[in-house]
Amino acid sequence: MSPLKKSFHTSNPDADTAIDRTIPDFPAAQISDEDKYFKNHKPPSYLPEIEKEVANFVEFHQNQSGKNIVLVTSGGTTVPLENNTVRFIDNFSAGTRGATSAEYFLENGYAVIFLHREFSLLPYSRHYSHTTNCFLDYMTEVNNKVEINRDFADEMLLVLRKYKAAKESNSLILIPYTTVNQYLYTLKSISEIMERLESKALFYLAAAVSDFFLPQSKMPQHKIQSQDHGGKLIIDLEQVPKFLSRLVDNWAPSAMVVSFKLETDHTILIKKAMSALERYSHQLVIGNLLQTRKKEIVFVTPDGHEDWVRLTDEQYAQKEEIEKLIIPKVISYHQQWINSHSLKTE
Ligand code: PMT
């Protein structure tokens, strides 16, 4: 099967996780919030299939291509309000940062596991999907045959070549999620598999992960009926445990971890990035503001160093992508990480 074709879908409601009142509702036990979460929430039914595909991918690159592997997370998680989901809470992320970054990682010789919100932007196809153009606008009819419209053909050829190169070298695997539960379980499984790569594994966590969720034990099985709630719906959400420390300390302790910090108030961005580094003890935070995220970002490291990366107005007007500047820098941090690990093991 082609690695770019998915055999499972995450956006359909999972009937297997129909409400189970026997699941205890967060007992006051002495285990961490992260462990409690996995104890009280069922994994997605397709998870073993994903684990197999990812393990094969990792093995191939470990034993045959020798490429470093990056896990790029992308898009936003949903929080379903009903088990047979009609309504859910979502967020703004379209997956631009993740899909664009994945392309530059591939161009720079990495193999990419792309953990993305299903139906959000994908590497390569992003150039033609989710635009105001219909995909048919890229085509034209010549002598009873369909051809690519000349206005787009040159650029499309470049994208096509890169896409084919990624596919033929088995360098890109697409793994979908929709809900925050699917995301967390899949992140955990992939991280544990990637730990085999030791320092050659890189995590680039650009997904916008929900901070609040409705536990499975509290989720109604069927669509919430408006007449049952006297015209009001009050939703009591719980905080999603912070999994980054589990990733750093337990799931993939030899890997380099880059997280993103999104804020809308520029006065707190650096402070929040620093507190994430202190709390999770990982290696790098890339800070961005909602309003300017396509034009400027800041690298923040545990020693308090700030390094701003900006597109000039001219570059921005010419539709240059800031990820083209971000990824080589991330890779040089990763190379230093790999070098420091090989020194330790010598
Ligand atoms: O898709 P675009 O429109 O291009 O937007 C890109 C972006 C703005 C979403 C992206 O650049 C970005 O900033 N992503 C992180 C946004 C965020 O919500 O961060 P956070 O503070 O919730 O989480 C911090 C980090 O921990 C993130 O890397 C997140 O993936 C990770 N995390 C958070 C919670 C959790 N339970 N598990 C996690 O792995």
Beta bridge mates, 79: 89
Per-residue pLDDT band at 344 (split at 50, 70, 90) = confident
ipTM of the complex: 0.93
Confidence at 14, pLDDT banded by 50, 70, 90: low
In a domain, 182, yes or no: yes
**pLDDT above 90 (res 30):** no
Residue 132 lies in a domain: yes
4-8, 286-290, 293-297, 339-343: which has the minimum mean pLDDT? 4-8
> Ligand 1: which residue has its CA nearest to atom 5?
93
In a domain, 203, yes or no: yes
Q: Which pLDDT score is estimated for 160?
A: 98
114 part of a folded domain: yes
pLDDT at 28 > cutoff 50: no
Looking at per-residue pLDDT, the higher value among 273 and 83 belongs to 273
> Is residue 190 situated within a structural domain?
yes
- Cβ 330 vs Cβ 284: under 8 Å: yes
User: Do the beta carbons of residue 104 and residue 206 sit within 8 Å?
Assistant: no
Phi (first) and psi of residue 326, to 5 degrees: -70, -50
- Work out how many domains the chain is built from and give that number: 1
Say yes or no to pLDDT of 46 above 80: yes
Task: Note the pLDDT of residue 16.
Answer: 58
In the predicted structure, residue 52 carries a pLDDT above the cut 70 = yes
Span from the CA of 189 to the centroid of ligand 1 (angstroms): 19
Q: What is the DSSP letter of 15?
A: G
The share of the chain scoring above pLDDT 90, in percent, equals 80
Dihedral sign, Cα of residue 135, residue 71, residue 40, residue 262: negative
Q: Mean of the pLDDT values across residues 284-309?
A: 97
112 ligand 1 Cβ < 6 A: no
Q: For residue 35, what pLDDT is reported?
A: 87
Please give the DSSP secondary-structure letter assigned to residue 250: I
Q: How far apart are CA 248 and CA 250, in angstroms?
A: 6
pLDDT at 144: 97
- Testing ligand 1's pocket by substitution, the residue of 262, 271, 281, 330 carrying the most ligand atoms inside 8 A of its CB is 262
Among the residue ranges 221-230, 243-252, 260-269, the one predicted with the least confidence is: 221-230
Quick one: average pLDDT of 85-105? 96
Token reading at 321:
């992508």
Task: Give the rounded distance of the alpha carbon of 54 from its chain centre.
Answer: 15
Measure the CA–CA gap between 245 and 240, rounded to whole angstroms: 13
How many CB atoms sit inside 10 A of residue 19's CB? 15
331 close to ligand 1 (CB < 6 Angstrom): no
Ligand 1, atom nearest to 280 Cα: 26
Question: What is the domain extent for residue 65?
Answer: 15-254
Q: How far apart are CA 78 and CA 65, in angstroms?
A: 35
Question: pLDDT band at 22, cuts 50/70/90?
Answer: low
In a domain, 96, yes or no: yes
pLDDT digits (tens, 9 = 90+) for 225-245: 877 777 788 899 999 998 999
pLDDT over 70 for what percent of the chain? 92
313 part of a folded domain: no
Q: CATH number for the domain including 190? A: 3.40.50.10300
Let me know if residue 179 belongs to a domain. Answer: yes
Statement: residue 203 has pLDDT above 60: yes
Please state, in angstroms and rounded to a whole number, the distance separating the CA atoms of residues 319 and 278.
35
Q: What is the pLDDT of residue 222?
A: 86
Residue nearest ligand 1's atom 19 by CA: 261
Note the pLDDT of residue 12.
74
Per-residue confidence (pLDDT) for residue 290, from 0 to 100: 95
Q: Is the CB–ligand 1 distance for residue 123 below 6 Å?
A: no
